[in-house]
Structure 1
Amino acid sequence: MAFHGKIRTFNMFDRLGSFLDFIDFVDYIDSIDSIDNDAYELDNERESESAHLRSTKRTVPRHDISDATNPLQSLTDEQFCSIFRFSKDTVVREIFPLLNFQNPPNERGLPVPPMLQLLTALKFYATCGFQEECCDIVGVSQATVSRVVKRVSQRLAEASSKFIDFPTETDKITFICNDFYDVAHFPDVVGCVGCTHIPVVSPGGASAELYRNTRGYMSINVQVVVGPSMVIQDLSCRWPGSCQNRKVFENSEVRARFKSADYRGSVLLGDNSYPQLPYLFVPVLGDSPTPAQRRYNDAHRTTHAVVESFFTAWKQRFPCLQQKLRCKFTTSVAIIEACAVLHNIGRACNDNVEGIHVQDYEAVPVKNSSQGDRIGIEIREEFIKKHFSV
């Protein structure tokens, strides 16, 4: 049978050239497989050795903030009070529980222990507001000090309602009025009101210039009402430095209390930057006051002096309030509230330490307010006739 056409057959010797070349090629493939196996085994051995070294490697000890020298143990009572403005007992028993900081579940990130956070903030309050001076307590950076001061201040400010409260009980009001009367025989006084300026950095924004006071620097106009023992009864610290004292008082909670007649029969004392109101008595202005008015003014000046005494003691105990607070506005407000809370704790614990005098910013002059409403002036005249006439 004849087959027409050409049949092509595959011959591997056409590619390899010869049978010997084919044998050499097979041997070459086997050698490559052998090299790959040896390399794989070598890699496994190296990985095992590396894992063994990692498991047996001696770890270099890291700096642990909790190992820093504890001021509660390393300092004497005198040294501790000088640096932190409070006794050890007051810090441990009264102030530290207010923070309610939870110990971290692990040492990841080497967190600052809660007690050292509190001491860092206390030293900041007791300095001129320079965070760099607080870094040596725990050996941390200025940025960490900034976060710690903010956190501690916010926690203390949250406790303000517990430690700053205007008296409401009749017995307590009577007790306060009697203490004020012992000062200069001015009756029915339940509190003295006054304002001071706390310097701050510019808060920025479109309303930044509102914080520039008449002396030309940025500030917060802080109003307080204090009792006869310089305990803060009411605090308002959110008004810019350009606001007059009168406006701060008109928008304060304490004014709302008196306006609602909750304290009928009791009065506040203020200087002439406030208006004369039925419940807020200010000095009588004029070139020729009557003898009764002079006696009233003398008793008023002596009794109201507790406000200036408070501001002096407050700023000397916490010098950060005398110098510019270099923080965000919200943090500055929290620091002011925290220092107010700490002041009342110190007074309650009779923990009074000698403060330090720091050159204060120039005092902001106050503008005499109007004489007040007609009813307030009439009530004051009747009050003077009743209590200060011979």
Structure 2
Amino acid sequence: MDYDSEDDFLFLLAASALALRKKPKKNRTKRKLWIHPIVMERNKKGYFNTIYKEICEDPENFLNFTRMSKESYQELLLLIQEPCTKANTTMRESISVEEKLLITLRYLATGCSFVDLHYAFRIGKSTASLIVQEVCKALWAHVRQMAFPVLNAEKWMEIAEGFKKHSNFPNCIGAIDGKHIRLIRPSNSGSMFYNYKNYFSMVLFAMCDSNYLFTYIDVGSYGKSSDSGIFKNSTLFEKMVNGTLHIPAAAPIEGDATTDYPFVIVGDEAFPLLENLLRPYGGSNLTYNKKNFNYRLSRARRYIECAFGILANKWRIFHRPINVQIDLAEDIIKACCVLHNFVRVRDENRSDNIEAGTTYDNLTVDSFSRGNPRALNGQDKFANYFVNIYPLEWQNESI
């Protein structure tokens, strides 16, 4: 734009500045209260100072309210005491670690919202969210090593004995699968978390033993990812390939002292066939040996499905879509897996609900790689063993 003189330009510039100065400011909502009246009554009417004091006197009610015994609760409290302790200030007194743990356990156990915690414990909604995140992070950082076993040769042998006893599958050292954890659609995520079941989710990929205890977990994969893709990108697969999982060498098993059988992890048809990973035979026109193998493998594989069921029924946060940020959702899933193992070892007796009549009718044909010759040889060895050396009385009725 051309101006007749420098004075005209300065005049316009000054007028523009004056117009901007006179532009009305947006009305800001003034804070009415420093502390909400509901929160002010926390020490008198909050759950921690009312109901919690009562249930502490009844072991059965305490177990129902916190999903663990009082002894386990106190042990857990000691483990996270230091990282979750905050200093009091001149403005207000900090929330105790015991109350923080109780708030988090109720959130995970009931699947309630932060608004529900706000009214029940009389704390701010944002405070409830921060407490849950803080405690979940502390559980993963300070209880994980106690909850998850060190996977060495000795531990693998112990797990193998459990599967042999409870599922009649010798040399089995774990069952693997993935579980979709339902989420409210994450912001700016596109379709990455949208899975083949037509909802948004994050995948919990896990391995368990015959006591339904998780021995390995991988959390955070997109819902659109397949189980096989997650497995191939996991540290479990990496260690299996480079030989650092410390899996025992192939060895003879009961009834066949002349043949070496590999120690194997069992999975469904979504996984590849590897030397230390077995999956069902694919196809519809299977021989008797292959049908029987698929049945016997399904009995061992169901342990991971049962473990997921136990996890979701105890920590009912998984009964609804989780409505939090992705990072917090990941912390919640990890914390629940830690609590699952921690509580199961201390407070629960093993309940084997895998029935002898379990069939493999729900298995579907998959087009994944058939595996290398050594893997196929291991699969055929077990198929022959389950028919000719170690048959079960009821297996013919089940296939």
How much has 1:256 moved relative to structure 2? 1.9
* Structure 1 counterpart SS, 2:118: helix
Q: For 1:330, which of 323, 327, 332 is the aligned residue?
A: 327
Which 5+ residue runs of structure 2 have no aligned equivalent? 1-38, 251-262, 352-362, 390-399
Instruction: Indicate the larger mover: 241-250 or 194-203.
Output: 194-203
* Structure 1 counterpart SS, 2:163: helix
How much has 1:366 moved relative to structure 2? 8.4
C-alpha distance in 1, partners of 2:348/2:203?
Answer: 27
C-alpha distance in 1, partners of 2:301/2:91?
Answer: 54
How much has 1:164 moved relative to structure 2? 5.0
Asked whether the 8 Å contact 1:237–1:333 carries over to 2, the reply is yes
- TM-score normalised by length of structure 2: 0.73
Which residue type is aligned with residue 130 of structure 2?
R
How much has 1:202 moved relative to structure 2? 2.6
State the match for 1:74 in structure 2. Answer: 54
How do residues 178-197 of structure 1 correspond to structure 2 at under 5 angstroms? 178-197=161-180
C-alpha distance in 2, partners of 1:256/1:152?
Answer: 31
State the match for 2:380 in structure 1. Answer: 381
Q: For 1:121, which of 93, 104, 116 is the aligned residue?
A: 104
How much has 1:136 moved relative to structure 2? 4.0
State the match for 1:58 in structure 2. Answer: none
* Structure 1 counterpart SS, 2:237: helix
How do residues 155-304 of structure 1 correspond to structure 2 at under 5 angstroms? 155-159=138-142, 161-165=144-148, 167-205=150-188, 207-261=189-243, 262-263=246-247, 264-265=249-250, 266-304=263-301
State the match for 2:337 in structure 1. Answer: 340
C-alpha distance in 1, partners of 2:169/2:348?
Answer: 29
C-alpha distance in 2, partners of 1:84/1:215?
Answer: 32
* Structure 1 counterpart SS, 2:217: strand
How much has 1:148 moved relative to structure 2? 0.9
C-alpha distance in 1, partners of 2:380/2:266?
Answer: 15
Task: Write the deviation string for residues 71-108 of structure 1: whole angstroms up to 9, x where unpaired.
Answer: 55321322222222112221112345225222524463
C-alpha distance in 1, partners of 2:330/2:92?
Answer: 29
* Structure 2 counterpart SS, 1:191: strand
Asked whether the 8 Å contact 2:111–2:320 carries over to 1, the reply is yes
State the number of aligned residues. 318
Which residue type is aligned with residue 115 of structure 2?
E
- TM-score normalised by length of structure 1: 0.75
Instruction: Indicate the larger mover: 183-192 or 231-240.
Output: 183-192
Q: For 2:370, which of 369, 372, 383 is the aligned residue?
A: 372
State the match for 1:94 in structure 2. Answer: 76
C-alpha distance in 1, partners of 2:350/2:186?
Answer: 33
* Structure 2 counterpart SS, 1:216: coil
- Structure 1 residues 99 and 322, CA gap change in structure 2 (3 angstroms): farther
- Structure 1 residues 164 and 271, CA gap change in structure 2 (3 angstroms): farther
Asked whether the 8 Å contact 2:148–2:341 carries over to 1, the reply is no
Instruction: Indicate the larger mover: 229-238 or 289-298.
Output: 289-298
- Structure 1 residues 286 and 131, CA gap change in structure 2 (3 angstroms): same
Asked whether the 8 Å contact 2:186–2:326 carries over to 1, the reply is yes
Asked whether the 8 Å contact 2:211–2:350 carries over to 1, the reply is no
How much has 1:167 moved relative to structure 2? 4.4
- Structure 1 residues 321 and 279, CA gap change in structure 2 (3 angstroms): same
* Structure 2 counterpart SS, 1:327: coil
Larger of the two Rg values belongs to structure:
1
C-alpha distance in 1, partners of 2:365/2:78?
Answer: 42
Alignment root-mean-square deviation, CA: 2.6
Which 5+ residue runs of structure 1 have no aligned equivalent? 1-61, 355-364
C-alpha distance in 1, partners of 2:146/2:185?
Answer: 30
Asked whether the 8 Å contact 1:65–1:111 carries over to 2, the reply is no
Q: For 1:305, which of 289, 295, 302 is the aligned residue?
A: 302
- Structure 1 residues 275 and 285, CA gap change in structure 2 (3 angstroms): same
* Structure 1 counterpart SS, 2:191: helix
Which residue type is aligned with residue 370 of structure 2?
G
Question: What is the identity percentage for the equivalent residue pairs of Structure 1 and Structure 2?
Answer: 18
- Structure 1 residues 110 and 98, CA gap change in structure 2 (3 angstroms): closer
How much has 1:169 moved relative to structure 2? 3.2
- Structure 1 residues 71 and 90, CA gap change in structure 2 (3 angstroms): farther
* Structure 2 counterpart SS, 1:190: strand
- Structure 1 residues 128 and 225, CA gap change in structure 2 (3 angstroms): same
Which residue type is aligned with residue 373 of structure 1?
G
Task: Write the deviation string for residues 306-326 of structure 1: whole angstroms up to 9, x where unpaired.
Answer: 111111110010111121111
Task: Write the deviation string for residues 100-147 of structure 1: whole angstroms up to 9, x where unpaired.
Answer: 222524463332221111100100001124222223443112222111
C-alpha distance in 2, partners of 1:151/1:366?
Answer: 42
Asked whether the 8 Å contact 1:87–1:351 carries over to 2, the reply is no
- Structure 1 residues 81 and 164, CA gap change in structure 2 (3 angstroms): closer
